[in-house]
Amino acid sequence: MEETGKVFIKTFGCQMNVYDSEKIMAYLDDRYIEAASEDEADLILLNTCSVRGKAEQKVFSMIGRFKPLKDLNPELIIAVGGCVAQQEGQGILDRSPLVDLVFGTHNIEDLPDLLDERIRKGKRVCRIIEESDKVTSAQAPSRAVVSKPARLVTIMKGCDNFCAYCIVPFVRGREISRPSVEIISEVESLVENGALEITLLGQNVNSYRDPESGDDFIDLLEKVDSIHGLSRLRFVTSHPKDFSVELINAMASLETVCEHIHLPLQAASDRVLGGMKRSYTLNEYRSKVAALRDAIPDVELTSDIIVGFPGEKRSDFDKTMSFLTEIRYQNVFSFRFSPRPGTAASRLEDSVPERVKKGWLPELQHLQSEITAWKHEDLLGSTLEVLVEGTGKKENGMLEGRTRNNFIVHFPGSEDMIGSLTNVKVNRSGKIHLESEVVK
Ligand code: SAH
Ligand code: SF4
Ligand code: F3S
């Protein structure tokens, strides 16, 4: 056992990275405790995202900001992991002399060794492997974050879809599913430690297939659903092309599966969808949503949209705008197209000028925030069951919870309610969340 230091982890990107950061913490558990801020850290670790150019630039500007800390404490170790590390590898050490250590998305388990190399031998180190058969080691120590009521569990990694714009298959590798016995035992241990809600993670969960038993995603949902003590089950992300009637039926019939689905549309024009290699048409998407709403009347949908894909015209963008009004998503995450190295779309002409993308994006976001606000108004006066997940970020004495169908609700209450299910009555609707009070 070594001397204990303090680690500050900054996580960028998607829930995969959030999960990986928890794993990283677990691997460092006997050597580092969490630092309250970067100023007091002995190890600063950036878990990076490279899905858009902007996300990647953020990493390098952040590293630059650590210079004064490194000047003060030459022993400070700066480590870069995640998707930018996987993509750039040694290039990060070359570009930034402040960085001590780089590790790829398949090398989380190696981190303690790499730290030893840095500390004992004084070498700047980089370890990136291209692929790994392991999703994450089952033997990984259990993740440190105690008694959080809503937890993430990775069921597969990588992606085989190669959507034309997307770097994920390059930085996360091919799709590999994790054996369901491992998944079940991880969920069981989280539930035993107080988790009421589990979100199963994968870039394309619908194509999950147990490498040992051959179970598919629905078999897995059934198994997790039957775990005693679990109240809510979510999963992300579903690719619309693989979102099946069977899955809709399973969502409707399995008690713990929540009435919410994130179903990234990306664009509503078939021409643009074709260019993106998304393998569905707008009508196919539309009829899946209709079937879902038939089966689960109070289901809510969220989505991702890219504006300004190569070749997209105003008339294509207008289709996306009217589809948002038609579908009435609960919320939409929207992004300007950003060409990524190695992807098919990076070889197309980035034909939509940046100023046009910069105009379309707020237009879309404005429309969506109106739709979200209407949905919130519809809930005024109603009583909702929420899982109390934590304290509200800004206001003192406020708790934050989420409904099964993914509405975010704030209400006054004491911290001992965190981790419980409670009923609240909505008394104000906001743009981002609902305000309410606990029903006695
Ligand atoms: N596996 C998920 C998430 C992929 S990344 C899925 O299939 O949806 C999350 C979102 O980032 C994508 O849905 C997409 O909307 C956006 N995105 C990915 N690559 C992008 C790029 N090059 N430019 C802009 N947005 C991008
Ligand atoms: Fe990227 Fe497409 Fe895979 Fe999602 S499904 S991770 S958008 S390639
Ligand atoms: Fe970003 Fe990597 Fe996730 S590129 S979106 S952190 S898989």
The pTM score is: 0.94
pLDDT in tens, 213-243: 999 999 999 999 999 999 999 999 999 999 9
CA distance 403 to 407: 5
CA distance 387 to 260: 14
What pLDDT, on a 0 to 100 scale, did the predictor assign at position 138?
41
Report the C-alpha gap between 174 and 11 in whole angstroms. 23
Q: Return the residue whose CA atom lies nearest to atom 7 of ligand 3.
A: 168
Final residue of a domain: which of 258, 280, 312? 258
From atom 5 of ligand 2, which residue's Cα is the shortest distance away? 161
Given pLDDT bands bounded at 50, 70 and 90, which one contains residue 394?
Answer: low
Same domain (yes/no): 20, 77: yes
CA of 277 to the centre of ligand 2 (A): 10
* 133 part of a folded domain: no
- CA-proximal residue: ligand 1, atom 13 (nearest): 304
Per the model's pLDDT, the better-predicted residue between 130 and 437 turns out to be: 437
Is 171's C-beta closer than 6 angstroms to any atom of ligand 3? yes
Considering every ligand atom shown, identify the ligand nearest to the alpha carbon of residue 13 and give its number.
Answer: 3
133-170 pLDDT, tens digit per residue, is 666 544 455 555 556 899 999 999 999 999 999 999 99
Q: 108: how many CB neighbours lie within 10 A of its CB?
A: 22
Distance of CA 74 to the CA centre of its chain: 34
The answer to whether residues 116 and 10 belong to one domain is: yes
> Residue 316 falls within a domain, yes or no?
yes
CB-ligand 2 contact for 163 (6 Å cutoff): yes
Domain housing 329: 288-378
Is the Cβ atom of 114 under 6 angstroms away from ligand 2? no
Domain identity same for 372 and 427:
no
Query: Which ligand minimizes its atom distance to the CA of 305?
Result: 1
- Both 364 and 403 in one domain: the answer is no
Same domain, 200 and 252: yes
- pLDDT the model gives residue 396: 75
If you measure from the C-alpha of residue 74 to the centroid of ligand 2, how many angstroms do you get, rounded to a whole number? 40
CATH value at residue 339: 3.30.750.200
Between CA 322 and CA 358 the distance in angstroms is: 19
- List the 300-307 sheet strands across, edge first: 260-262, 300-307, 331-336
In this structure, the strands spanning 398-403 and 408-412 are: antiparallel
Q: Is the CB of 51 under 6 A from ligand 3?
A: yes
Residues 236 and 302 in one domain: no
Contacts of residue 212, Cβ cutoff 8 Å, sequence gap at least 6: 179, 180, 181
Whether residue 159 has its Cβ less than 6 Å from ligand 2: yes
What pLDDT is attached to residue 313? 98
Least-confidence region, from 89-103, 237-251, 391-405: 391-405
Q: What is the dihedral of CA 320, 324, 325, 326, to 10 degrees?
A: 90
166 lines ligand 1 (CB under 6 A): yes
Check if 317 has its Cβ closer than 6 Å to any atom of ligand 1.
no
Residues 6+ apart with CB under 8 A from 51: 13, 14, 83, 166, 167, 168, 340
Domain of residue 415, CATH code: 2.40.50.140
Question: What's the whole-number average pLDDT of the chain?
Answer: 93
| pLDDT tier at 310, thresholds 50, 70, 90 | very high
Integer-rounded Cα Rg, in Å, for the chain is: 22
**Whole-number Cα distances in Å, 60 to 55, 234, 282, 422:** 9, 34, 38, 43
Is 264 near ligand 1, meaning CB less than 6 Å away?
Answer: yes
In this structure, is residue 41 part of a structural domain?
A: yes
Report d(CA 326, CA 237) in Å as an integer. Answer: 22
Are residues 158 and 50 part of one domain?
A: no
Strand order of the β-sheet with 77-81 is 32-34, 5-11, 43-48, 77-81, 101-103, 125-127
Q: Is residue 337 in contact with ligand 1, taking CB distance under 6 Å?
A: yes
**Alpha carbon distance 28, 47 (integer Å):** 14
Rounded Cα–Cα distance for residues 355 and 286 (Å): 31
pLDDT reading at 393 higher than 90? no
Residue 183 is predicted with a pLDDT of 96
Q: Number of folded domains in the chain?
A: 4
Query: Do 207 and 110 fall within a single domain?
Result: no
* Atom 1 (ligand 3) nearest CA: 49
